[in-house]
Chains A and B, each alone.
Chain A
Amino acid sequence: MSHWAFVTAAYSVAAVATVCLLAWAYSTMRKAEAAADELKNRR
């Protein structure tokens, strides 16, 4: 098996996991901050 196949697999794992972490952290932050703002504006 070519060395590049292992390099590609390792970089893909790192990229996918990092993007998933950031996307999850961002979406939970946006959702929570939007809920807090909405509650604040309602009062």
Chain B
Amino acid sequence: MHRFANPARFLKIARPATTWLFVLGLLLTGVGLFGGLTLTPPDYLQGETVRIMYVHVPSAWLGMAGWAGIAAASVAQLVWRHPLAAVAGRALAPAGATFAGICLLTGSIWGRPTWGTWWEWDGRLTSMLILFFLYLGYIALAGAEKERGGEGRIAALFGLVGAVNLPVIHYSVLWWRTLHQGQSIGTSGSSIDSSILWPLPLAALGFSCLFGAAVLMRMRAELAESKVEARLRRAAAE
């Protein structure tokens, strides 16, 4: 990890990786969603609405993965003072917030025909909404800290504390009575029939690549902005 502490070395890898992730993401997402919309059969109980799974589930995973990434960056920031950790945290937050938002909206749209309601204040939905608000708080806090010239330690602490919400989201369907279905995909397999399941990993991998491309683009933007600020400061001092 410390090999990439040098921004120049990081950029050497990030530049081609951004393009590859973007292209691969478009391809995999396109194939996954096309398969999910046209090639899979409707569910015997949910009918055609089961197809919402191919956008809802990857966005839920990425919403949570984004905060797990922020927590990892926070550790790197607080323990090793890794120079790219704060940049990574700030770059992960908008992408994570977007996918948490997509998860909430598509879940609400899926809930109406399936449960008969757009929203229910149960454990899974509420903890996911809290994650979305945590993202907004992190974006505001990290942005304000950067503007004041801080190192990003307060935002890193917030990122670590917010990670407590991740197991709450994951286990909410076990801890509380909920409208949301229990875990259907685990390490031991899946309860979803393979004729319906197969586009899901493609869509999830595709959205993950697009997520990665967006994060790398934001990191590159942050590094370029820092370079401009440093040059202007140096020029003003001369």
Q: Verify that A and B bind, or say they do not.
A: yes
What's the count of A-B pairs with C-beta under 8 Å? Answer: 99
Question: Which chain B positions have C-beta within 8 A of A36?
Answer: 224-225, 227-228, 231
Given the interface contacts A14-B102, A17-B102, A18-B98, does A33 sit within 8 Å of B37 by beta carbon?
no
Alpha-carbon distance between A25 and B221 when the two chains are bound, in angstroms: 8
CB within 8 Å of A: which of B26-79?
33, 37, 42, 47-49, 51-52, 55-56, 59
Majority-rule SS of B interface residues? helix
Contact assessment for A32 and B225 in the assembled complex, using a CB-CB cutoff below 8 Å: yes
Interface size for chain B: under 10, 10 to 19, 20 to 34, or 35 or more residues? Answer: 35 or more
Given the interface contacts A3-B47, A21-B214, does A29 sit within 8 Å of B228 by beta carbon?
no
Contact assessment for A7 and B224 in the assembled complex, using a CB-CB cutoff below 8 Å: no
Question: Which chain A positions have C-beta within 8 A of B49?
Answer: 3, 6-7
Q: Using a CB–CB distance below 8 Å, which chain B residues touch chain A?
A: 22, 33, 37, 42, 47-49, 51-52, 55-56, 59, 94-95, 98, 101-102, 105-106, 109-110, 112-113, 207, 210, 213-215, 217-218, 220-222, 224-225, 227-228, 231-232
